[in-house]
Amino acid sequence: MKALRLKNWGREPELTEVDRPVPGAGEVLVRVEAAGLCHSDIHVLDAAPGTLPYRLPFTLGHEIAGHVAALGPGAHGGPAPGERVVVHGPWGCGTCTRCAAGQDNYCDRRGSLDWHGAGLGRDGGMAEYVLVPTARHLVPIGDLPADQAAPLSDAGLTSYHAVSGVRNALGAGTTAVVIGVGGLGHLAVQILRATTPSRVLAVDIRPEALALADRSGAHLSIPMDSDTAAALRKATGGVGVDAVLDFAGAQPTLELATQVLRPGGELAIVGSGGGQLTVRKPGFLPPGVRLSLPFWGTRQELVEVIALARAGAVHVETEQLPLRSAPEAMDRLRRGLIRGRAVLVM
Ligand code: NAD
Ligand code: ZN
Ligand code: ZN
C-alpha cells in the first residue's frame, strides 16, 4: 500500500510502498478514507533532530477517518468489520489510570514513550490502511462524511477540549476571543457558538481567515495589527475579555492576550508558535488569570464532537486533495495558503 513516510529529520516526507499491516492480538486494521493535515505536522517536519522522541521512519497523519477492514484475534467488542469510524489519535501507554479512562492525551507515562499518537511517532493515516492498537481508540461516525470526521478527531477535538477547560468562565454576557482562525480556530468559533452563550470575537493576520471566522459564526472579526488590543477592549466596553483561546501561541498573540484579558479571565494556549510568557507575582498578567495548556482531547469528548457535527452544529471547511498531493498541501499550509483544513482523501 502507499504511505507518506517521514524518513529523515529535516527532509520532506516520501510517498512510498509499504506492506499492508496485518492486525495482531487486539489490533484493528482500518481502511483510511480521509486524513487531515494539521499545522502540527509542519512542526514535526521542521523539528530539529533530537527535539521529538519519535523513532524514524513512520507514516504521518493523526486525523483519521475510515472503516474497519479487519479485526485481529480478540479485538471484539468494538466496531465490526465495515463499520465507519474515526480514530482517537492520542495513544498513551494504555494501562495507566488516565489511559484507562480514555484520557490518553494526558497519559501518565507520556515522558517515557517514544510516540504521542497515530502519525506522531507511530504509523498514522496518510496511507491506504492504518493499524490501530486497540478498538477503544475507535469512535463510530455513522454516515458522517470522512472529510468531516477526520479533522474533527484533532482540529475539532482539541478545540472542544480547550473550550471545555474555559467553559466555567463563559456564562451569559461574557466574551471569548479566538486568535488564529485556521483548521482549529474556525472550529473553536463554531464550538463556542454551539456550546456557550458567549460573544465570540476572532483575530487573525489573514483577511481570508477573518472571512472564515465570519462564516463560522464569529460576532466580530478583527485583523491582527498594532490596534488589535484597543479594538478588543472597545468591543467589550473597556472591561476586557473573559477568555482567550490562542491557536497561534506566538509572541505577539500571547502578548495580545495579556493586554485584553479581564481580571479572573482564562487563557488557553493551544498553538505551538513558540511564544513565551513570564508568570510572576507581581507581574504583567491580570490578577486571577488562569492559564491552561490543553493538549488534544479525551475519547468521550471525541464522541461529543462527532455528535455535534452529526447534529449540524459544526461543519469543517475543507480542501480535499489526493494522497499524492500531500507535499504540495504541506507547502501551502506552511505558507498560510490553506483555508480551513486540507484533507487527503484516499
Ligand atoms: P493553521 O495553519 O490551520 O491555522 C493557524 C492560524 O493562525 C492561521 O489562520 C494563521 O493565519 C493564524 N496566525 C498565525 N500567526 C498569527 C498571529 N501572529 N496572529 C494572528 N493569527 C495568526 O494551523 P492549525 O492546524 O489550526 O494549528 C494551529 C496551532 O495549534 C499549531 O501551532 C498547531 O501545531 C497547534 N495544535 C495544537 C494542538 C494541541 O493539542 N494543543 C493540537 C493541534 C494543533
Ligand atoms: Zn494536530
Ligand atoms: Zn497511560
Burial category of 107 from C-beta neighbours within 10 Å (exposed 0-12, middle 13-18, buried 19 and up): buried
What is the Å distance from ligand 3's center to 104 Cα? Answer: 6
Give the cell for residue 216: 463560522
What is the model's pTM? 0.98
Give the cell for residue 99: 489511559
**Could you tell me if the ipTM is greater than 0.95?**
yes
Domains of the chain with bracketed CATH? 2-143+316-345 (3.90.180.10), 159-292 (3.40.50.720)
What is the pLDDT at residue 76? 87
- What residue ranges of the chain have pLDDT lower than 50? none
Ligand 1: residues whose CB is within 6 Å? 38-40, 43, 154, 158, 179-185, 203-206, 209, 224, 247-250, 252-253, 270-273, 294-296, 333, 336
What is the Å distance from ligand 2's center to 234 Cα? Answer: 33
What is the pLDDT at residue 284? 87
